[in-house]
Amino acid sequence: MLVAILYGVTGLLTLAHPIAVAAGLTLMLAPALMVAGTFRIIVSLAERFRSWGWVLLNGILAVLLGIMIVMEWPASSLWVLGTFVGIDLIANGITWSVLAAEVQGALAPSDSR
């Protein structure tokens, strides 16, 4: 019941102050992208798995997006959420597609003719 009340109050505040909420969410997105990107970079450099370069590139892109948010905040609050989240999702989709193709190729039975 407490969570329902919290969600309801948060929703009402969001509707009452959408620009302030967008600014706050944008500011929270910046460190989230930077931390996630840093972990991707560390993992790709520590574990040289197949297509690790794609994960490294994805991590670098996420860190750069986070830095760009911080540099332009709060002016970026009105457009950055959709744009940067979309860019990050596209980069993640490409990275996971490449990794899935690599895993599928590694698991395919070899032709022993």
pLDDT in tens, 77-96: 777 777 877 887 888 888 88
Residue 20 has phi, psi (to 5 degrees) of: -65, -40
Provide the 10 A C-beta neighbour count for residue 55: 22
Q: What is the pLDDT confidence band of residue 108, given thresholds at 50, 70 and 90? A: low
Burial of 99 (0-12, 13-18, 19+ CB in 10 A): middle
Q: What is the pLDDT confidence band of residue 110, given thresholds at 50, 70 and 90? A: low
pLDDT in tens, 1-56: 777 788 788 888 888 888 888 888 888 888 998 999 999 999 999 988 888 888 89
